[in-house]
Structure formats: C-alpha cells, structure tokens
Amino acid sequence: MLRISGVTKTYPNGVRALHCIDLTIERGLFGLLGPNGAGKSTLMRILATLQEPDAGQLTFDGADVLADPRAHRQRLGYLPQDFGVYPGVSAVELLDHLAVLKGLTNRRQRAEQVDALLHQTNLHAHRKKAVSGFSGGMRQRFGIAQALLGDPRMLIVDEPTAGLDPEERNRFHNLLAEVGENVVVLLSTHIVEDVRHLCPRMAILSEGRVLREGAPETLVAELAGRVWRKTVEKHEVARHRESLAVLSTQLSGRRTVLRVLSEGPPGPGFDVVAPDLEDVYFAALLQR
Ligand SMILES: Nc1ncnc2c1ncn2[C@@H]1O[C@H](COP(=O)(O)OP(=O)(O)OP(=O)(O)O)[C@@H](O)[C@H]1O
Ligand SMILES: [Mg+2]
C-alpha cells in the first residue's frame, strides 16, 4: 500500500505544481485523471524518487520512501510520459541492457525474464526489430516490459495511452489489468475512458489539488438526478453557458447536445439523464 500525505511541490519559477496531496493507494489499478498541467507528472516523478517534494511524506508497505529512495527504486517500475529509446537497438537487446542497469546480473535469469516480458507484452515476434521503429502502441507495450524488469511491487505509468488507436489502447488496458492483479499500479491519464473500466479506484487532480477521490461507480452514483440534457441550436450554446453549469457540449448533426449540472430542472426542454464518468470529471473541474 502506498500512502501519500501532505505532498507539496513548488518549482523554482514559482509554479505551485502540488498542494498538500493526500492519497492512499492499494494494490490494483489506481487512475489519476487530470487535464494538462494538473501536476500528474510532478506527482509521479516524486513517487519515482526522481524529484523531491518540498513537504510531505511517502510510505510504501510501511517503509519511508524519502528516507531511503534507493530501496524504493528496487521495488519500483516507471514508465515516464516521454519514454525515449536509442535508435537502431532491437527490443531484446534494449530490454537486456535495461535489465543490467536494473541490477539483474545473472545472465540466464535475465534472459528468461526478458523473454517472458516480451511474451507478456506481445512483442516476442518483434523482438529483433528496432524499438525506435515501433508503432506507438508497440512502443508503449515495450515501455511496460522495461518497467516490469526486476518484478516491481509498484508500477507508475504516466499517460501511457495518449496517441494510441482504440485497438492498441484496448490491448494496453488488458495488459495493465493483468499486471494490476499483483502490484500497485498508478496510471495517469487525461482520458476518462482509461479509468472507467480499468481502475477500481481513482482521483481527479487539477491545479495541483485532489478534487475527487473514490470508486468510479460511486462518484458517478453521486451525480444521479443532477445531470440534465437538452439539444439546442448552435447559437443558443453561449447563452446557456452564461447562466448554467454546462458540463459538456457535443455536436449532433447541426445541433448541439448540452449536458448541464443542476440540482433541479435547469429550464424548459431539459431531461434528466443517467450520469457517466465524464460528467463526474467535468463537474469536478467546474467546481474547483
Ligand atoms: N521543471 C519544471 N519547472 C517549472 N515548472 C514546471 C516544471 N515541470 C512542470 N511544471 C509546471 O508544473 C505544473 C504541473 O505540471 P505537470 O507536468 O506535473 O502536469 P501534468 O498533469 O503532467 O500535465 P500534462 O497532462 O500536460 O502532462 C504545470 O503548470 C507545469 O507547467
Ligand atoms: Mg504529464
């Protein structure tokens, strides 16, 4: 179990990236959902001990992470948002090289683990190809393979699905779900779809603060009876935005479907609808 308490970070240029973050994260997948600049990567770099917080504490399975970052790194796998690879090096060579860096010195054990991870991430058939030539989805699966070297107990993956097509995203979700059966997996994303079916627990982060936290279905249930929908002409959208808490707008042919947060009927022509996780996300961002 990972316990984050009071974690705060201000960059030297004055940007307050994290304000007193408190989160408790159990085994399985935890989704950290937030828009650009929310502080997701800052938090993940701190959890990976690549950056120190100004204040706060981190414990993992009772151990003080900040007091002994080296020991924490032994338990950790990390896929950064901007995962770079050396050009021209094949998947199997690169994975073997990274395994050495991770301290897997026994050649035979290393070869076995590299082979197993290439199978697990469905890259075995491509193991002799250069990772720099991989498609986005293959590259991210390779990123998971390298993060899993050394059997980490905690896996941090920073926006791994950005830019993947639906099929690859789905494949990546399945891979994470499988990994999440055994270890703590912290997944950051700005894509609601990544969290909806994949993460039993989640938090919404914005401007360095946790706005909501819980199980996706609980957060959705809390909005029951408060999300309203109406289809309007395009020119009416701005007027509705002025007076109502508009969660989202979606084009439907020439018209626009508005979703609005309101304790009671917001006006004529509105129907109450079943809330979804996207409504939870936009409602949280509206209320900040
Ligand atoms: N090294 C840095 N120096 C100064 N400011 C930074 C630095 N890194 C991040 N920031 C700022 O801190 C805030 C949080 O950034 P961070 O990268 O953690 O957000 P994010 O949620 O990961 O965003 P994205 O979805 O775009 O990756 C932003 O305002 C960003 O501009
Ligand atoms: Mg980021």
The domain spans of the chain are 2-215, 221-286
Q: In which region does residue 62 sit, left (phi positive, over 0), alpha (psi from -120 to 50) or beta (all else)?
A: left
Distances in Å between the Cα of 172 and the Cα atoms of 157, 181, 190, 226 are 11, 15, 16, 33
Among residues 120, 124, 138, 123, the alpha carbon closest in space to that of 83 is found at 138
**Average pLDDT, integer, range 219-230:** 97
Q: Is the CB of 17 under 6 A from ligand 1?
A: yes
Mean pLDDT for 270-283 is: 97
Considering the entire predicted model, what is its pTM? 0.92
Q: Rounded to whole angstroms, how far apart are CA atoms 109 and 151?
A: 12
How many Cα atoms within 13 Å fall on the side-chain side of residue 15? 9
What number does the ligand 1 atom closest to the CA of 45 have?
18
Helix H or strand E segment including 26: none
Does position 288 have pLDDT exceeding 80, yes or no? Answer: no
- For residue 41, how far is its CA from the centre of ligand 2 (angstroms)? 4
Ligand 1 touching residue 160 (CB < 6 A): no
Residue 278's contacts (CB-CB under 8 Å, 6 or more residues apart) are 192, 247, 248
Indicate if ligand 1 lies below 6 Å from the C-beta of 269. no
Give the phi and the psi of residue 176 in degrees, each rounded to 5: -65, -40
The Cα-based distances of 202 to 186, 213, 262 in angstroms read 9, 6, 24
- Indicate which residue's Cα is closest to atom 12 of ligand 1: 17
Q: Which atom of ligand 1 is nearest to the CA of 208?
A: 14
Strand order of the β-sheet with 184-189 is 76-79, 154-158, 184-189, 28-33, 201-206, 209-214
The domain made up of 2-215 is a member of CATH 3.40.50.300: yes
Pairing of strands 255-261, 227-232: antiparallel
Q: Is 10 in the pocket of ligand 1 (CB under 6 A)?
A: no
Mean pLDDT computed over 193-207: 95
pLDDT, residue 31, reads 97
Question: By three-state DSSP, how is residue 202 classified?
Answer: strand
The pLDDT value recorded for residue 83 is: 80
Q: Ligand 1: does its nearest atom lie under 6 Å from the Cβ of 44? A: no
Share of the chain above pLDDT 70, in %: 100
What stretches of the chain show up as alpha helix (H) in DSSP? 40-47, 69-74, 91-101, 107-120, 136-147, 166-179, 192-196, 216-221, 237-243, 277-286
Q: Which residue puts its alpha carbon closest to atom 4 of ligand 1?
A: 11
What spacing in Å lies between the alpha carbon of 152 and ligand 2's midpoint?
Answer: 22
* 162 — pLDDT class (breaks 50, 70, 90): confident
Distance 269 CA to ligand 2 centre (A): 40
Distances (CA, A) of 31 to 2, 23, 115, 201: 14, 12, 29, 6
Q: What is the DSSP letter of 104?
A: -
- 25, two tokens: 């994260």
Position 84 confidence tier, pLDDT thresholds 50, 70, 90: confident
What lies within 8 Å, CB to CB, of 102 at 6+ separation is: 149, 150
Query: From ligand 1's centre to the CA of 119, what distance in Å?
Result: 35
CA angle 262, 264, 267 (to 5 degrees): 85
Nearest protein CA to atom 28 of ligand 1, as residue: 37
The length of the chain is: 288
